A = this chain, B = another copy of it.
Amino acid sequence: MDYQNYVQMLKAMADPNRLKIIDLLSCGSLCACDILQHFDFSQPTLSHHMKVLQNAGIVFTVKDGKWQHYSLQKRFVQEFKQNTDQLLAADEHCLCQRSDCEKDVAN
């Protein structure tokens, strides 16, 4: 399993404000000024959070005149669920390499 990308997604999600942004975007595209209205922090702080989300591959942006429209990356939604299922699956191949490993015995 490729932890690197998954960890980057998890890090980007592991902030209550960014999690709320993802929740907001899960219902469709929004521009920065619309998102900002739901928070108490400053505009540069939002700009910072959006960059973190972009770098993690969670959102993408389309420029439209003065506005930046942010949307969730469908690839992120898919990959995050997939990685989560793989991590927490009970029948995944075990890393522990012990002869008495419960998981390997189960396979």
Q: Could you tell me if A24 and B77 are in contact, using CB atoms closer than 8 angstroms?
A: no
What 9 pairs across the A-B complex have the smallest Cβ distances? A27-B103, A28-B102, A27-B94, A10-B14, A11-B14, A14-B14, A77-B88, A10-B13, A7-B16
Chain A positions 21-47 with a Cβ under 8 Å from a chain B Cβ? 22-24, 26-30, 34, 38
- Residues of chain B within 8 A (CB-CB) of A89 are 26
Q: Could you tell me if B10 and A103 are in contact, using CB atoms closer than 8 angstroms?
A: no
Q: How far is the CB of A54 from chain B (nearest CB, A)?
A: 17
Q: Mark A1-24, 1 if CB is under 8 A from B, else 0.
A: 101101100110111100110111
Q: Could you tell me if A104 and B11 are in contact, using CB atoms closer than 8 angstroms?
A: no
A15 to B7, CA, bound (A): 6
**A76 — nearest CB in chain B belongs to which residue?**
B88
Q: Could you tell me if A26 and B77 are in contact, using CB atoms closer than 8 angstroms?
A: no
**A104 — nearest CB in chain B belongs to which residue?**
B27
Q: Could you tell me if A26 and B92 are in contact, using CB atoms closer than 8 angstroms?
A: yes
Known contacts A80-B84, A88-B81; A95 and B28 CB within 8 A of each other: no
